[in-house]
A and B are shown apart, each in its own frame.
Chain A
């Protein structure tokens, strides 16, 4: 199922990357990347394992520092801002980790409360409860509020991970392999949730995946990361209407018999 058209403002780039380079030792992971993420857009970054997809979003959120190039996020150059400015910026960016990264010593409620209480000074208990219930309702897991992360299934953990980022009302969402390790039905549910988040929270998102069904169902645009650079960028059909032997196997593996 192809994604429905979203309300995208192509005059407003919330993330603007130019000439981004990142190496680990002798291995050049990103070799001069240019990328724009527009307001309201879901951009899927596809690529083989180890091509630097996760590195890209870690650079955008300031978890890693680039070797060269600029990363402009919501008008701030991430590589050249103070720690305090970076912390303030991060509140506006939601990051859903591949393994959910739920705090395993806290209940679901505490996991959701934690970023809210620490970032919103003077917030009342009633407001916290209201926000927690609201995001849990948004991901359809109100019944898990008092459970520990270890008691949740993989799909539930992903949803709670997304809920934890939503509680701060982020303007940008970054999903690292949102469907990795999940069964097909749960994958579809997660894809639907990503689209609901885009619509209901008016977010712009970067979705890192190598799952083409996820790319097709959630992406307004797809960017194919090959050999450290974006080789093909466009709609799903534009990217995969090719005989490029580096791209074609992705499509063939997922969609042809």
Chain B
């Protein structure tokens, strides 16, 4: 009779699995924090790779242009259309331009741009660097003394930090344009009147907060995408995980940052 002990590992309980996931998540946040520190340590040192930064700006900015334009326009049109019935009830449709501009400038433009960019740019960075890690291209850069962190990470993070605020500003104007076309078609408002009413309730703090948000979001998307790709596990599965992790983590952090920046901007008003 076989009396040997079973060598099967005990199945972890739900509680210990949950505990493991939570500690993994905080460990990842700590690693991202270390990654950010390394970025600031290396970004100021030469070489500055301006050509590569320009190339990455093109990749992250220009290549997202069509999707961003379409999304911004639809957000403007739909938001205006959906808000009209509520305002009509109070006989306040003349407030539509102000409502649209406040919503777009203060919240929608940076947030929508960040979410689109997290999906398109973040996943692309995660997959690209992950693939380079898996095929030992990053190791090859390392052993030839070419400072891969500087060339691959710093350039991409700078590019997203520059292009995402620009895209967010562009989305704001495209969304306003969408709103204007809808208001114009229904209420017959002229372009000048719409824009005057749209910008009237906005202050410098609103623009500053919106731009700050977009800069922080751009930096986050770049850092998270690079972090996930740079430390991808070996194998093709690792590349997929890096791309997926880049999107999920960036979106999660963007939402947290949104809440924090709104709070901070509120103190300045």
Query: Are these two chains actual partners, yes or no?
Result: yes
Q: CA–CA, A205 to B101, complex, Å? A: 67
Residues in B neighbouring A62, C-beta threshold 8 A: 143
In the complex, chain A residues whose CB is within 8 Å of the CB of B47: 118
Answer yes or no: A114 CB below 8 A from chain B CBs.
yes
By a CB distance below 8 angstroms, the chain A residues around B151 are 118
Query: A61-B143, A115-B146 given. 6 additional CB < 8 A pairs?
Result: A87-B145, A95-B144, A101-B135, A101-B139, A114-B144, A164-B144
CB<8 Å pairs between A and B, sample of 7: A90-B143, A95-B144, A101-B135, A102-B140, A104-B135, A115-B144, A118-B146
- B184 in contact (CB, < 8 A): no
Which residue of A101, A102, A119 is within 8 Å of B146 (Cβ)?
A119
Judge whether A97 and B140 touch: CB under 8 Å: yes
Does residue B63 face the partner (Cβ distance < 8 Å to A)? no
Size bracket of the B interface: 10 to 19
Partner of B140, one of A91, A93, A101: A101
Asked if A104 and B145 make an inter-chain contact with CB atoms under 8 angstroms apart, the answer reads: no
Tally of chain A residues near chain B (CB < 8 A): 24
Instruction: Give residues in B with beta carbon < 8 Å to A.
Output: 47, 132, 135-137, 139-147, 151
Q: Which of B132, B135, B136, B144 contacts A168 (CB 8 A)?
A: B144
Is the Cβ of A119 less than 8 Å from the Cβ of B145? yes
Residues of A within 8 A of B139 (CB): 58, 63, 97, 101
B-chain residues with CB within 8 Å of residue A93 when the two chains form the complex:
143
- State whether B145 touches A115 (Cβ < 8 A): yes
Mask, A193-234, CB within 8 Å of B = 1, is: 000000000000000000000000000000000000000000
Q: Which of A107-124 contact B (CB under 8 A)?
A: 114-115, 118-119
